[in-house]
Amino acid sequence: MITRLINKFKRSSVEGVHPHIPEKQRIYCIGDIHGCADLLQQIHKKILTDASNYSDQKTIIYLGDYIDRGEQSQQVIEMLVSNPLPGFEPVYLLGNHEQAVLSFIEFPEASAAWISFGGREALNSYGIPLAHIPGKREIPELAKRLDNKLPDTHREFLQNCKYSYQCGSYYFVHAGIQPGVALDKQDPEDQLWIREEFLESKKDHGAIIVHGHSITDEPEILPNRIGIDTGAYKTGVLTCLVLEGEEQRFLQTGNA
């Protein structure tokens, strides 16, 4: 797949929130990967090339939803655990799909819906093929098999992901935030699942919110938020936002 570089020098401007990253820092932020290890490898190569002549602090932030939907959930987690980008400080955020798989293992019957929105593909990547819709009686056994198959390093990775990260005038989170609620008072469920109430809000959130979770054809740059979930598992486009000083630009994989 041919990779492409997109540069978009557009500034967000919310009253009281001027886009900035502290001096001598550069941030790379990757959107929802969803079991696409090949695309993750491609964007990592793009990032390494882009950062090859940059000697100051480099942070790479992953916005969650590493697993499900695509066919390579196990491979994505293994890549992040065993082969992190050298020279970068990594920040791994929790997505709703990571929450879902952890809930499935602990409370299988109450969390069985996970299988229908990407869990089947994740199970298959861990060597648990599922060719049919499982009955209620099969669910606990599936969860037990996944619990046994999941490497300890993968479990620890999933359990240690953060809900959010803040730097400069940016606040990074998987899905978004509840408008009108202070950033340090946000409900984790909103941070993982919220959509319309956040997406439709034009409020000043006190920071520019960088998020994934809600798919758009192109990265969405608005005054109070930047959305970078470009539906990698079905479009082949995995997006990385690059922030330095007041600059905002993008790296992407793609078909052109």
pLDDT digits (tens, 9 = 90+) for 174-229: 999 999 999 999 999 999 999 999 999 999 999 999 999 999 999 999 999 999 99
The answer to whether residue 256 scores a pLDDT higher than 60 is no
In CATH, 3-253 is 3.40.50.300: no
> According to the model, what pLDDT value does residue 132 have?
81
Task: Indicate whether 66 pLDDT > 60.
Answer: yes
* The pLDDT of residue 115 is above 50: yes
CA torsion through residues 171, 163, 25, 39, sign: negative
Helix (H, G, I), strand (E, B) or coil at 61: strand
- Residue 141 reports pLDDT greater than 60: yes
Answer yes or no: is pLDDT of 13 > 60: no
Per-residue confidence (pLDDT) for residue 9, from 0 to 100 = 36
Residues 85 and 49: beta-carbon distance below 8 Å: no
User: What residues pair up with 78 in beta bridges, in sequence order?
Assistant: none
Per DSSP, 17 falls in state B
**Which residues are CB-contacts of 109 (< 8 A; sequence separation ≥ 6)?**
136, 139, 140
Alpha carbons 56 and 87: distance in angstroms, whole number:
10
- Mean predicted lDDT score pLDDT of the chain: 93
Average pLDDT over residues 111-130: 96
Averaged over 27-55, what is the pLDDT? Answer: 98
**Model confidence at 6: pLDDT above 50:** no
**The whole model's pTM is what?**
0.94
Residue that wins the pLDDT comparison between 2 and 157: 157
Q: How confident is the model at residue 15 (pLDDT cuts 50, 70, 90)?
A: low
pLDDT at 165: 98
Q: Could you tell me if 212 and 131 are in contact, meaning their C-beta atoms sit under 8 angstroms apart?
A: no
pLDDT at 1 over 50: no
Burial 101-133 (b: 16+ CB within 10 A, else e): bbbbbeebeebbebbeebbbbbbbbbeeeeeee
Answer whether 174's CB lies under 8 Å from 64's CB.
Answer: yes
pLDDT category at 77 given cuts 50, 70, 90 is very high
Query: Which pLDDT does position 133 carry in this prediction?
Result: 81
Instruction: Break the chain into its structural domains and give their ranges.
Output: 3-253
DSSP string for 205-251: -SSEEEE-SS--SS-EEETTEEE----HHHHS--EEEEEETTEEEEE
pLDDT at 131: 79
2 pLDDT exceeds 70?
A: no
E-assigned strands of 31-95?
A: 57-62, 89-92
